[in-house]
Amino acid sequence: MCYRFYIDLFFKNRVKKEFSDKGILVPDSEFTTLSEPRDVYPSEKALVIAGSRGGMSAESMGWGFSNPVSKGLLANARSESIKEKPTFRESAFLRRCAIPASGFYEWDEYKARYKFFRTDEELLWLAGIYRMENGLKRFTVLTREAAGPMIPVHPRMPVTLSSFEVNTWISDAGFMDDLFRREPRYLSKVQDGGQISMDLGI
């Protein structure tokens, strides 16, 4: 799953470089707050990239769709079923987004926490969808069956994107099936207080 991701000390500089390369404008008022090192939880605001008339734009969105059957938030959506489920279907076809992060956390059945991040120290892009709720845009992170080093930790993992795939994901609904079928990219896995291990990841 993905119920917490994090932003580290290098995030701001990486975001500036990546966004500049992609021609994405970020409002200073939002960038300053949303790029500070922190853990990001469902219900909080995060920096999200979405489509615009000029290509792509960055803005603040809240994490989690409102849940129609409970008080909790839908922080994740299964990629295997988003095109069929009424809660996600329209957003899947019309409102896709990408969430930049330094990495994300997951816990195993013994409550041990692991950190997952890119091996090349570049931004990790989470694939998401979004919608408008009460005047605020809200996003949810897509997940898939676990692969590589995620398998012993948790049965689900976020769907991630390479930097060069962000525009295609946002602008081309036909890219969904290819993205969901492919093997995940390489990631590093670190257990808190433990050593780094390298394996197939995201």
Domain layout of the chain by residue ranges: 5-200
The most confident of the ranges 122-126, 130-134, 189-193, 198-202 is 130-134
In the structure, what pLDDT confidence band is assigned to residue 188 with cuts at 50, 70 and 90?
confident
With 70 as the cut, is the pLDDT of residue 10 above it?
Answer: yes
Residue 199 above 70 pLDDT?
Answer: no
User: What 3-state DSSP class applies to 172?
Assistant: coil
Considering the domain 5-200, what is its CATH architecture? Alpha-Beta Complex (3.90)
In the predicted structure, residue 28 carries a pLDDT above the cut 90: no
Instruction: Tell me the whole-structure pTM to 2 decimals.
Output: 0.92
- pLDDT score of 131 more than 70: yes
In whole angstroms, give the CA distance from residue 153 to residue 167: 31
Burial class (CB in 10 A: 0-12, 13-18, 19+), 183: exposed
**pLDDT value of position 193:** 58
Q: 196: pLDDT confidence band, cut at 50, 70 and 90?
A: very low
Asked if residue 186 has pLDDT above 60, the reply is yes
Question: Is the pLDDT at 160 greater than 80, yes or no?
Answer: yes
User: Using an 8 Å Cβ cutoff, are 90 and 96 in contact?
Assistant: no
pLDDT over 90 (residue 69): no
Q: Is the Cβ–Cβ distance between 42 and 10 less than 8 Å?
A: no
Mean pLDDT of 81-91: 96
